[in-house]
Amino acid sequence: MKNTLLATLLITALITSMCKTIDSNVQFAPTILMDSEFLATTKTQTKNKDPKLKPAFDQLLKDAEAALKEGPFSVTHKEKTAPSGDKHDYASYSRYWWPDPNKPDGLPYIRRDGETNPASQSLKESDRQRIGALGLNTETLGLAYYLTGEEKYAKKAAELLRVWFLDAATRMNPNVNHAQCRPGHNNGTKSGILDGRLMVHALEGSLLISGSSALSTTERKDLKTWAGEYFEWLTTNEMALQEAASKNNHGSYYDAQAMYFALYSGNREAATQIAQQFVQNRLSSQIQPDGSMPEEMARTRPLFYSIYNLHAMSLVAHLAQNVEVDIWNANDKDARLRAALDHLTPYTDSLKRWPHPTIGECDRMEMFPILQIADRAYPDGDYLKMVEKLPVARRQIQRENLVFPRMR
């Protein structure tokens, strides 16, 4: 009886606290990845001019004003058509592949892991920069609309979505068959599926502007249809399935991407299956008991890729909550996900030297969103204390102060 009374009092206190934090007039955004309660709290805080969020909010509005002047973006804007000959097909080039200096024509290209070939980012030939701009700008505009209610942001976000996904003259075909081409080797690689994750930012942007009429009901339905078609390609195409079999961060991001598109298109059954298999397919196979990740350690930038993979895994664990699957505490005896977290957390401090060979330095700010997610998942770990090791000026403007969490 005493325990029941205590539980009731605690729940009542929690609800009361939440009501005080979130303005009763604030509408929750129907987001999939971003936590809608976190967003609602942010909206209340920015409305009340909370000084803690001012640097990040000011940066968001600055970015949103810039985004109003950019785009729209389309795969049809590149001068070089994709190898398929269809101008609506996405195409990009592997960033770590370079012309062979010992060959007159440079073919076939050779790999220089960790070194970006500037030509791979060419706007004339590649859509990689466009898909990145689409994702970031649509998310920026959507978030600015949700927090301020200013229609100009929603209208611009809708334009970006319409041109990239919907308009017959400019839409992208729902595939990335020609992502990360390697000249002299192939016209697309399984690694290129990674590019598709950037569209998650854009689709979350579409949900952030749900309170606006900038997108019609038909257009919203068509976006879900497009997402469903892309998910179908992602789970049936031979190259995409090879990426699904990857044993490193590519496999983890494949699951993050696939789960998101399944949820966006309303396929909860498929999302549930991905979530249920994640511990065995990714955590147990990729993370050692000490928290290290052998596949990422084999790279030329092991700290960067270890953090990169942990972020993907954390996003899948978060998305799995949409289908009531608890990955954070699954198979708790091994606790591989938390082992990886504890293994990397000390390196938030830039004064702590990474003890393994690496090309260049890893930006320790990459740990910021992971620590934020970890603090939610494991409140007993006090992970946010490590955030204090990061430069104050930089961490104050991070978008993660306003949003929880984000696709990387």
Q: What is the pLDDT of residues 42-94, one digit of tens each?
A: 999 999 999 999 999 999 999 999 999 999 999 999 999 999 999 999 999 99
Q: Indicate whether 165 pLDDT > 50.
A: yes
Which pLDDT band holds residue 239 (cuts at 50, 70, 90)?
very high
Which pLDDT band holds residue 26 (cuts at 50, 70, 90)?
confident
Beta strand pairing call for 91-93 and 178-181: parallel
pLDDT tens for each residue of 9-24 = 333 343 334 444 687 7
**pLDDT at residue 150, as a whole number:** 98
CA dist 8 and 340 (Å) reads: 36
Q: Which of 79-83, 137-141, 173-177, 205-209 has the lowest mean pLDDT?
A: 79-83
Per-residue H/E/C for the chain: CHHHHHHHHHHHHHHHHHHHHCCCCCCCCCCCCCCHHHHHHHHHHHHCCCCCCHHHHHHHHHHHHHHCCCCCCCHHHCCCCCCCCCCCCCEEECCCEECCCCCCCCCCCEECCCCCCHHHHCCCCCCHHHHHHHHHHHHHHHHHHHHHCCHHHHHHHHHHHHHHHHCCCCCCCCCCCEEEEECCCECCCHHHHHHHHHHHHHHHHHHHCCCCCCCCHHHHHHHHHHHHHHHHHHCCCHHHHHHHCCCCHHHHHHHHHHHHHHHHCCCHHHHHHHHHHHHHHHHHHHCCCCCCCHHHHCCCCHHHHHHHHHHHHHHHHHHHHHHCCCCCCCCCCCCHHHHHHHHHHHHHCCCCCCCCCCCCCCCHHHHHHHHHHHHHHCHHHCHHHHHHHCCHHHHHCCHHHCCCCCCC
CATH fold of 246-408 reads Glycosyltransferase (1.50.10)
**pLDDT at residue 321, as a whole number:** 97
CATH value of 49-241 in 1.50.10.100, 2.60.40.10, 1.20.120.1200, 3.90.25.10: 1.50.10.100
Portions of the chain given CATH number 1.50.10.100:
49-241, 246-408
